[in-house]
Amino acid sequence: MLKRTAVLGTIAVGVHAVIVFLHGQAHGDLGVELNRFQQVFAGVVIVVTSLVAAALLWSRYQSIGCHLPIEKDGGGSCNAHSAPELRRTPYK
């Protein structure tokens, strides 16, 4: 069971990485550039924590690896909903 969780979690991180890459490409295609803080935030919170979670899935800290993406995505969602740029958009 533990190895199955690690394999499925690692696959999920790989799929997540592809989606993050395509999302970044869409930002570039639409001319939506990120400032330095947003680039660092995306790099650390979105990419690095996913890789750390995948690594933890293969260690004795597997439970932390399972919970880390949930906590990370919750924090990212809170940041996205409080972003001033989103409050000014005409699409809301």
Give the tens place of pLDDT for each residue, 30-82: 888 888 888 888 888 888 888 898 898 899 888 888 777 766 666 555 555 55
Long-range contacts of 8-17 (CB under 8 A, 24+ apart): 9/53, 9/54, 9/57, 9/65, 9/66, 10/54, 10/57, 10/58, 12/69, 13/50, 13/51, 13/53, 13/54, 13/69, 16/50, 16/69, 17/47, 17/50
Is residue 91 pLDDT above 50, yes or no?
no
Instruction: Please tell me the distance from the alpha carbon of residue 74 to that of residue 8, in angstroms, as a whole number.
Output: 21
